[in-house]
Amino acid sequence: MCGRFVSSSPPDEIAKYFDVAEVAETYLEPSYNVAPSQEVYAVFERDAVRQLQPFRWGLIPFWAKERSVGYKMINARAETLADKNAYKRAFRSRRCIIPANGFYEWKRIPGRRAKQPFYIHRPDDEPYAFAGLWEVWRGAGEGEGGEVDDVGPVSSCTIVTCAANDALEAVHDRMPVILPRRAWDEWLSEEVDDVSRLGKLLVPAPSDLTVLYPVSTAVNNPRSAGARLIDRLQDGQVED
């Protein structure tokens, strides 16, 4: 599961880090509390050109009748990508990398009402390369009330998740798939459509790539913002 993450690097730094050739003109403000349905940067390839552009977080399948479907599809389980109608087409031909400076997970603490959020990041503070899928939804569907939802096209994405590694399993049983640099070309290639081959990339990251510590419950509110959200709680500091 990945319900919130940090995207604080500017697009020029992201482009350099991921060897991007073309960057969309749309600029996203740095965010320390990216929430579902918000715009996020994603790296993908089109006609063998690596590009960076904003996508709506929460994949909207091309066949969906309304955009709200995307709220349920912020994460896609690696184990079922090849079988689920919402993801199998994108898994073959519309893969992306979602850059993240870190992400949050929540742990239930005995005797406390609220779960404790933890911030997870690389020890060297370089960006994570989350495995993702993307789609373009063109609207013109009929909503639940019979109204026409025709506000397209919308480019959307989802984060692929796998079982947690040893460092995270005490906090949560799932984590984003974090692709090593050696896997980027294969994951992004439009020429690769062998799902068995691609599935071998979708494994937990080594534990030494995931440093975690408790942070304030302020991150629970999607309106909370700022770098203070990733400040580490001091030893003995408790929030309830």
CATH code for the domain in which residue 145 is found: 3.90.1680.10
Tell the residue number behind the tokens 């947690």, with chain if given.
164
Classify residue 209: in a domain, yes or no.
yes
Classify residue 237: in a domain, yes or no.
no
User: Nearest Cα to 161, choosing from 6, 1, 35?
Assistant: 1
Classify residue 201: in a domain, yes or no.
yes
Q: Could you list the residue range(s) of the whole structural domain that residue 164 is in?
A: 5-230
Q: What is the pLDDT of residue 113?
A: 83
Which residues have C-beta within 8 Å of that of residue 128, sequence separation ≥ 6?
99, 100, 101, 102, 103, 121, 122, 176, 178
What does pLDDT average to over the chain? 92
* Known active-site residue 239: no
| 114 to 174, 231, 236: CA distances (angstroms) | 20, 18, 17
**Residue spans of the chain under pLDDT 70:** 140-152, 235-240
Q: What is the pLDDT of residue 2?
A: 87
| 183 to 18, 73, 158: CA distances (angstroms) | 12, 24, 18
Classify residue 132: in a domain, yes or no.
yes
User: Nearest Cα to 97, choosing from 22, 46, 151, 158?
Assistant: 158
Classify residue 239: in a domain, yes or no.
no
For the stretch 130-168, pLDDT in tens is 999 999 998 755 555 555 555 668 999 999 999 999 999
Classify residue 50: in a domain, yes or no.
yes
Classify residue 164: in a domain, yes or no.
yes
Please tell me the distance from the alpha carbon of residue 142 to that of residue 70, in angstroms, as a whole number: 15
Classify residue 193: in a domain, yes or no.
yes
Task: Enter the pTM of the model.
Answer: 0.93
> Of these residues, 39, 45, 66, 105, which one is catalytic?
105
* Known active-site residue 105: yes
